[in-house]
Amino acid sequence: MNAEVMEHTMRLRQMGADVQVINSKMCFVVFPLEEFDVAYCYNVNKKGKYFLERIKPYPLALREFDKEQDAIDIIEIDLEQFKNAVKSHNIEAFIEINKRLNETLMKFEDLFLYYNVPKEETDIISIQLDQIDEEIRKTKETAKRVYFKKNPEHL
Amino acid sequence: MVLQNQLVIAIGVFSVTYLIIMSEKLNRTAVAMVGAFLMLILNVEGQEQAFSHIDFNTIGLLVGMMIIVNIMKKSGIFEYVAIKAAKMAKGEPWKILVAFSIITAISSALLDNVTTILLIVPVTLVITDSLELNPVPFLVPEILIANIGGTATLIGDPPNIMIGSATGLGFMDFLVNLAPVVVVIFIVTMLVFKFLFKKQYNCEDHNKFKILQMDENRAIKDMVLLKKSLFVLGFTILGFILHQSLGYESATIALFFASVLLLISKVDVEDIFLEIEWPTLFFFMSLFILVGALEDVGVMEYLAEKLLSVTKGDPFMSTLLVLWVSAIASSFLDNIPFVATMIPLIKSMGAMSGMDIGPLWWALALGACLGGNGTLVGASANVIVSGMLSRHGHKLSFMDYMKVGFPLMILSIIISSIYLTIFYV
């Protein structure tokens, strides 16, 4: 494994990167719920940094924490919310929409990286995103709140 | 009656352990440890006596060198030297192979072979990838050269460390007696590759340009660490050269400079200790206990008697027998348990016949180290390269390797036979 790390770092350094190799432990955590599994992956290292990612049922962006307890707290709350969400009759649609949003994000990235997109087209996409944002905001105003242990971070 | 029971048990435990290690079906360290401690559980010998068989000079030397290498490799020195060499070769594949083979030979003489291979193979893969060439014709000579280079010094290969520790032969003894023949074998091996496999070392000109565009300075991760590591390594080698005249064991030198480097390098000590190859060290310790038990019950004396009756105490016959048996055995078996068994056997031969066993140690070192080149399972370095190649989508089968490795191993043993005959017997 050390030899492979050495090969990778040599290639990356020749590409101009600054590479730091840190000994760490990778933890894979799976909670089997009735409808689906909720899975996380986090990394513990001696530098006191914890990188947490949800893998299932759909990916959650990478987050960095300073304390191990923060990572456990986030997992605990996330899991509780999923256990609540499982009871909802909308759960399948909710997961499906999240997966589609992730796919859309990847398609948009390909569009941006592989093609020269005219400004008018990006404006159209931006307007449609505003519409989705507005729809989420309106729904939040009218829907009943079901989880109170922690406030939403992005709404 | 008790002694006879102990004899039967010791031979039984040793043989079964050896067979399971050879089968490679189970982890060799775990098997050797079970075998070693069975000797204690079955009362072949007591704990104190068993532990007294462990050669802590060998263990200490291995630990010390592992620490120094683990710290040193963090500086990027190896990648720097390799890129610099590839650029000096102007991206010419054959010249790169020669340069990398020289680096491999020198490194494996100063570090252990597995470490050398773990350092040179990643660099070779990056270079051959840039040249758009198959890495196998580069890695096979590197395997052979790592095992050949390691033969030249006391610290180059575990069999030499074990022989040196058991006999009191020092760094300079190994260098003076083995380096000349190793240089000859190195040159002959490279010439064979040059004439038999030259078609494999051609590439497009635009790929050579990719090598020239590489920046060796980017490989240096920590210039301060690099200077400290080279400084300490220089003193360590000087210490090995002078250790006999200073009256120090080689392990004292290695461990002292390893601890100095740990202190001044400011690396994470815990990280460095995590990278020490503990399974290898416990494998060694278990083998010392296993072979020590055989020695205590008189098996080695019996085998030495039989061997002497075959060679009739003739130094020429004995030397060539040890050389060729060691080479063939080490081609297929792990050379560490083989050498661990041969050391007390040769000592017993010397004690019983009164003959000069000096040449036998050089025959054992040459046979055990060079024999590892014979097959893909002959040495740890070979197995590691095969695994790394398969992860890169290339296959190095047992037979593919043997077609090249075995004849070259035989050639190296013929050269060694001539050398030993002319200079020692």
Distance from C-alpha of B341 to C-alpha of B294, rounded to nearest angstrom: 9
Q: What is the average per-residue pLDDT within B92-111?
A: 91
* Selected residue of B77, B217, B221, B386 to mutate for chain A interface (largest A Cβ count, 10 A): B221
| Interface residues of chain B, partner chain A, Cβ below 8 Å | 73, 76, 79, 118-119, 121-123, 125-126, 214-215, 218-219, 221, 268, 270-271, 274-275, 384, 388, 391
Select the residue of B219, B271, B275 nearest A13 (Cβ to Cβ).
B219
**At residue B337, does pLDDT exceed 80?**
no
The total of other beta-carbon atoms located within 10 Å of residue B368's CB is: 29
Distance from C-alpha of B401 to C-alpha of B386, rounded to nearest angstrom: 9
Q: What is the average per-residue pLDDT within B66-73?
A: 88
A7 vs chain B: nearest CA distance in angstroms?
A: 5
Distance from C-alpha of A107 to C-alpha of A122, rounded to nearest angstrom: 13
* Selected residue of B73, B218, B269 to mutate for chain A interface (largest A Cβ count, 10 A): B218
A115 vs chain B: nearest CA distance in angstroms?
A: 28
Q: What is the average per-residue pLDDT within B5-33?
A: 88
Q: What is the average per-residue pLDDT within B342-348?
A: 88
Residue A16: its chain B contacts at CB < 8 A?
A: 218
Q: Could you tell me which chain A residue has the CA closest to the CA of B120? A: A3
Distance from C-alpha of B383 to C-alpha of B114, rounded to nearest angstrom: 10
Residue A10: its chain B contacts at CB < 8 A?
A: 79, 122-123, 126, 219
pLDDT one-digit tens code per residue, A35-47: 788 999 988 877 7
Rg (CA), chain A: 20
Distance from C-alpha of A147 to C-alpha of A84, rounded to nearest angstrom: 8
CA distances to B215, B381, B416, B420, B421 from B362, rounded to whole Å, are 43, 22, 10, 8, 12
Q: Could you tell me which chain B residue has the CA closest to the CA of A8? A: B122
How high is the pLDDT of residue B7? 87
The total of other beta-carbon atoms located within 10 Å of residue B51's CB is: 15
Q: What is the average per-residue pLDDT within B333-360?
A: 84
- % of chain B residues with pLDDT over 90: 39
Residue A14: its chain B contacts at CB < 8 A?
A: 126, 214-215, 218-219
Interface touch A6/B122, C-beta < 8 Å: yes
Interface touch B119/A6, C-beta < 8 Å: yes
- Please calculate the CA angle B30-B389-B131 and round it to the nearest 5 degrees: 150
The residue that leads in pLDDT, A114 or B350, is A114
How high is the pLDDT of residue A19? 85
What interface predicted TM-score (ipTM) does this complex get? 0.70
Distance from C-alpha of A136 to C-alpha of A16, rounded to nearest angstrom: 42
**At residue B1, does pLDDT exceed 60?**
no
| B50 burial type by CB count under 10 A (0-12 exposed, 13-18 middle, 19+ buried) | buried
Distance from C-alpha of B379 to C-alpha of B391, rounded to nearest angstrom: 19
Select the residue of A10, A16, A46 nearest B79 (Cβ to Cβ).
A10
pLDDT one-digit tens code per residue, A24-35: 888 899 999 877
**At residue B415, does pLDDT exceed 90?**
yes
Distance from C-alpha of A128 to C-alpha of A139, rounded to nearest angstrom: 17
B114 vs chain A: nearest CA distance in angstroms?
A: 11
Q: What is the average per-residue pLDDT within B141-170?
A: 91
Neighbouring C-alpha atoms within 13 Å toward the C-beta of B303: 16
Interface touch B126/A7, C-beta < 8 Å: yes
- Of the listed ranges B222-236, B245-259, B342-356, the one predicted with least confidence: B342-356
Interface touch A14/B391, C-beta < 8 Å: no
**CB pairs < 8 Å spanning A and B:** 44
Asked, as a colleague might, if the bond just before A57 is cis with ω within 30 of 0, I would say: yes
Q: Which H or E run contains A42? A: strand A37-45
How high is the pLDDT of residue B155? 87
Taking a C-beta distance cutoff of 8 angstroms, is the pair B188, B415 a contact?
yes
How high is the pLDDT of residue B3? 63
- Give the dihedral sign, CA B169/B170/B173/B178: positive
Interface touch A3/B121, C-beta < 8 Å: yes
pLDDT one-digit tens code per residue, B150-164: 999 998 888 998 899
Distance from C-alpha of B177 to C-alpha of B160, rounded to nearest angstrom: 12
Residue A7: its chain B contacts at CB < 8 A?
A: 122-123, 125-126
DSSP annotation of B200: G
The two structure tokens encoding residue B128: 């051959």
How high is the pLDDT of residue A18? 86
Q: How confident is the model at residue A1 (pLDDT cuts 50, 70, 90)?
A: low
- Going from N- to C-terminal start, the domains of chain A cover 23-142
**At residue B2, does pLDDT exceed 70?**
no
Select the residue of B126, B384, B388 nearest A11 (Cβ to Cβ).
B126
**At residue B376, does pLDDT exceed 60?**
yes
Candidates B76, B106, B77, B100; CA nearest to B88 is B100
Residue A4: its chain B contacts at CB < 8 A?
A: 122, 388, 391
**At residue B22, does pLDDT exceed 80?**
no
A15 vs chain B: nearest CA distance in angstroms?
A: 9
Taking a C-beta distance cutoff of 8 angstroms, is the pair B40, B47 a contact?
yes
Candidates B192, B187, B257, B200; CA nearest to B229 is B257
Q: Strand runs (DSSP E) across B222-374, as ranges?
A: none
B26 vs chain A: nearest CA distance in angstroms?
A: 21
Interface touch A10/B219, C-beta < 8 Å: yes
Q: What is the average per-residue pLDDT within B12-36?
A: 88
